[in-house]
Structure 1
Amino acid sequence: MAGRRQIAALRLINSIRQHELDAIGAELAGLRAQQSALTDQSAALTQRAIDEQAGSTLETQPYLPGYLSSVDRQQRGLAAEGDALNGQIGTLEDALFEQFRALKTTQTVLSKAQSGAKADADRAEQAALDDASRALFALQRRSL
Structure 2
Amino acid sequence: MPERRRIAALELIGRIRQHEIDDLGARMTALREAQSRVQDQIAALDTQVDREGRVTSPENAGYLASFLRAARARRNRLSAQFAQLETEAAMIEADLLEAFRETKINDAVLDRARDSQKLHQNRIETTAAEEVARNAYLRRKAGG
TM over 0.5: yes
Give structure 1 stretches of 5+ with no counterpart.
none
Q: Is the 8 A contact 1:20 1:99 kept in 2?
A: yes
Once residues 95 and 61 of structure 2 are traced to their aligned partners in structure 1, the CA distance between those partners, rounded to angstroms, is 51
Q: What is the Cα deviation at residue 13 of structure 1?
A: 1.0
Residues 3-18 of structure 1 mapped to structure 2, 5 A cutoff = 3-18=3-18
Aligned to 2:125: 125
Map Cα deviations across residues 4-50 of structure 1 (whole Å, 9 max, x no partner). 11111111111111111111111111111111110011001111111
Aligned to 1:71: 71
Amino acid of the structure 2 residue aligned with 1:15:
R
Once residues 20 and 66 of structure 1 are traced to their aligned partners in structure 2, the CA distance between those partners, rounded to angstroms, is 48
| % identical aligned pairs | 33
Q: Is the 8 A contact 2:55 2:64 kept in 1?
A: no
Structure 2 vs 1, CA of residues 117 and 2 (structure 1 numbering), >3 Å: closer, same or farther?
Answer: farther
Larger RCO: 1 or 2 (CA < 8 Å, sep 6+): 1
Q: What is the Cα deviation at residue 143 of structure 1?
A: 2.9
Once residues 110 and 56 of structure 1 are traced to their aligned partners in structure 2, the CA distance between those partners, rounded to angstroms, is 72
**TM-score normalized by the length of structure 1:** 0.91
Q: What is the Cα deviation at residue 2 of structure 1?
A: 5.6
Amino acid of the structure 2 residue aligned with 1:5:
R
Aligned to 1:108: 108
Amino acid of the structure 1 residue aligned with 2:13:
I
Once residues 76 and 83 of structure 1 are traced to their aligned partners in structure 2, the CA distance between those partners, rounded to angstroms, is 10
Q: Is the 8 A contact 2:54 2:64 kept in 1?
A: no
Does residue 20 in structure 1 map to residue 20 in structure 2? yes
Residues 28-107 of structure 1 mapped to structure 2, 5 A cutoff = 28-53=28-53, 56-107=56-107
Q: What is the Cα deviation at residue 83 of structure 1?
A: 1.1
Structure 1 segments (4+ residues) deviating >6 Å: none
